Amino acid sequence: MDMEIVFPGNKKVNAVYKGFTIETDQPKKEGGDGSVPEPYDLFLTSIGTCAGVYVVYFCDERGIDTSEIKMTLQFDRNEKKHLIEAVHIHMSLPPGFPKKYKSAVIRAAELCTVKRNIIDPPKFLVTADIKE
């Protein structure tokens, strides 16, 4: 399935994919409107939400309520490269969470497909043509 990238104006760049429009913008200090997240913010949130989905699947299969599980991400940035060097994912499990599943729920979060694509990155091939 193809993803279409559209340019609705100013610094906004949106993706149309699987029937959804994912909006992005740049902050005001960079000439955007700051109206929605930046593309890089969406990348970072995809790591956390992907890990979270695997936690949900794990807990659902075992009848464990996820409403009190809290997950936080912290990012160590290399300011010279403007890249993330480490991602720390922490889960705060509620008192009733079965202790026997603590290691297993961590392993479940580590299955995140976004993380696995970072570890084993795809090739990027950029092309262009000029319509006549």
Pairing mode, if any, of strands 83-92 and 4-9? unpaired
Could you tell me the pLDDT band of residue 1, with boundaries at 50, 70 and 90?
confident
Report pLDDT digits (tens) over 68-121: 999 999 999 999 999 999 999 999 999 999 999 999 999 999 999 999 999 999
CATH class of 37-119: alpha beta
Q: Describe the strand order of the beta sheet including 20-22 as a list of residue ranges.
A: 4-9, 12-17, 20-22
Please state, rounded to an integer, the average pLDDT across all residues of the chain. Answer: 97
Could you tell me the pLDDT band of residue 21, with boundaries at 50, 70 and 90?
very high
Encoded tokens for 88 = 């720390």
Mean pLDDT along residues 41-63: 97
Mean pLDDT along residues 29-57: 97
Smallest CA-to-CA distance from 33 within 20, 23, 43, 22 is with 23
DSSP per-residue codes, 24-64: ----GGGTS---S--HHHHHHHHHHHHHHHHHHHHHHHHT-
Q: What are phi and psi of 100, to 5 degrees?
A: -65, -15
C-alpha span between 36 and 42 (Å, rounded): 10
Give percent helix, percent strand, percent coil of the chain, each to the nearest 5: 35, 25, 40
Sequence ranges of the domains in the chain: 37-119
Biggest CA-to-CA distance, the chain: 65
